[in-house]
Amino acid sequence: MKKSMLRIWSFVREILRHLMRPHPQELCQGTHFQEEARSERFTNLVRFVVVLVLTMANMMWAFGNEYLYAIFDLVVCLVWLALTAGYHGWLMRHPYRPVFKYASTTVDILVAMCFMIVYAVVEGPVFVFKTAIFIYLFHALGLAALRFHRNLALYASGLAVGLLGGMWVWLDKVVGITYGSRFEHAFGHQLNFHYLTDILIYTGLLGFLTGMLVMTLRRQMELRVAEAERAVREEERVRMAAGLAHEIRNPLAGIHGFTQLIQDEGTANPRHVAAILDEVKRLNEMVEGYLLYSRPFPVKPRMIDLVARVRDFCRRQSLQDPDRPLRFETEKPEYLLTTDPDAVEQMLVNLVLNARRYHPPHPSDQPIVVRLREDCRAVLLSVEDAGPGVEPHMVERLFVPFQTSGGAGTGLGLSMTSKIAGQLGGEVTYHPREQGGACFVLRLRSLPEDTHEGV
């Protein structure tokens, strides 16, 4: 019995993991955006369960209601359930957008008002306001509290109070509401004015408390994210310090050995001096790379023609290394993007240096390809080489500082590129080529021109 329950729970957990799976385009966004997308999917699953329970309850009560009541309840609930399921399918196939949560909350409140208006027309306003049908609005406000967004809670509260007040005025003018005392409200077929006012106040107060709850939850999430980021930075500093100490030790050992040889020989052997200079140069590159990685990179975005900029970069790089030239490919005559051109060029330099380290010297047959294309309101810059590619065990550590599969290089180029790309609101990813070689793709989006931050 216990094993069967564990298998069922494992099966349900796999289904939930599949339903909560983020869209690939959301992974390059910030932590808060990813959390909003995740909360939207979770809220929609909760909405599906609530509507399913409501549908089953209406089916149980359908035999005691009039025929038209039963048909109306079931049709609305089934349509609501179908919209919820279809919306989740849309979320799984398309990247999340902030407007989605406002649209889904609006649908919830409108469906609740649809129930209330129909019952008010058929049974009268007393039936609606003296029963718990407006609990549907509370469901909508509760679902809005799960999105980690204060403005959504306030929007849902304002919309609910506005529609309730509008329905009250409409029923009073069209159908007619008979007002009475509290006693007549409790035991007769009349409504008390203060009772209706209290409903509006309570709904607005619930929305306000929902907004405060959202602010508290979001603050807790921000604290957890900040703590996680601090832990990552601390781990990165420890890893960099260990890597730097390891890399510096090797050239120092070489310098020490060759210096002892010169001392024993009593003469300056040119080969030994050249070896010392090579080790000193390597050590200097390591320290410079460490300083470059740890130093803030100021981001100063401005509008540029990315096609012209990358084409000029490829021309200059081809002149510097004719044995490994660059070929620029794009189908766009121009692409205007608000970004930092120096940062983009620095990332391209790092990717091109990495490609030239493994690319065979074939200037006419297989040049290094720099390709620019547009994809889903973003621009993709890819650098493709014809080298051996990246070994499978190195893929997960490509963008970790001081990780290199070759003898040359400091292992900071790709990690620096990933860090700058994140500052520009993008990302860099690796994709193996089918015909052999490596392809690094840089995804960029436009930035506000008043952004001035450091990496």
Predicted confidence band at 451 (pLDDT cuts at 50, 70, 90)?
A: very low
pLDDT digits (tens, 9 = 90+) for 314-362: 999 888 888 888 899 988 888 888 888 988 998 999 899 888 888 877 6
- Token pair of 25 as six digits: 């385009």
Average pLDDT of the segment spanning 286-305? 72
Overall pTM > 0.85: no
pLDDT at 452 over 50: no
**Residues 5-23, mean pLDDT to the nearest whole number:** 79
312 has a pLDDT exceeding 90: yes
Q: What ranges in 295-376 are assigned the alpha helix state H? A: 306-320, 341-358
Average pLDDT, the chain: 77
pLDDT of 398 higher than 70:
yes
Higher-confidence residue of 429 and 252: namely 429
Buried b / exposed e across 44-79, counting CB within 10 Å, b at 16+? Answer: beebbebbeebbeebeeeeeeeeeebbebbeebbee
**Rounded Cα–Cα distance for residues 127 and 188 (Å):** 12
Of 76-85, 207-216, 316-325, the one with minimum mean pLDDT is: 207-216
Average pLDDT over residues 52-60: 79
Phi, psi of 33, rounded to the nearest 5 degrees: -65, -45
Confidence of residue 455 (pLDDT cuts 50, 70, 90): very low
Q: What is the pLDDT of residue 50?
A: 82
pLDDT at residue 183 greater than cutoff 70: yes
3 state DSSP class of 440: strand
Residue 370 CB neighbour total at 10 angstroms: 23
CB-CB contact of 403 with 394 (8 Å)? yes
- For residue 372, what pLDDT band results from cuts at 50, 70 and 90? very high
Separation between Cα atoms, residue 39 and residue 44, nearest integer Å = 8
Provide the pLDDT for residue 61: 65
The CATH code of domain 298-454 reads 3.30.565.10
More confident residue, 22 or 220: 22
Contact between residue 310 and residue 370 where contact means Cβ atoms under 8 Å apart: yes
pLDDT at 454: 43
Which tops the pLDDT comparison, 15 or 259? Answer: 15
Q: Which two tokens stand for residue 41?
A: 């999917």
Domain boundaries, the chain: 10-230, 298-454
Q: What does the pLDDT look like over 87-138, one tens digit per residue?
A: 888 888 888 888 888 888 888 888 888 878 777 777 777 777 766 556 666 6
Residues of the chain above pLDDT 70, percent: 76
What are the tokens at 398?
């490509």
The string over 140-163, giving b where at least 16 C-beta atoms fall within 10 Å of a residue's C-beta and e elsewhere, is bbbbbbbbbbbebbbbbbebbbeb
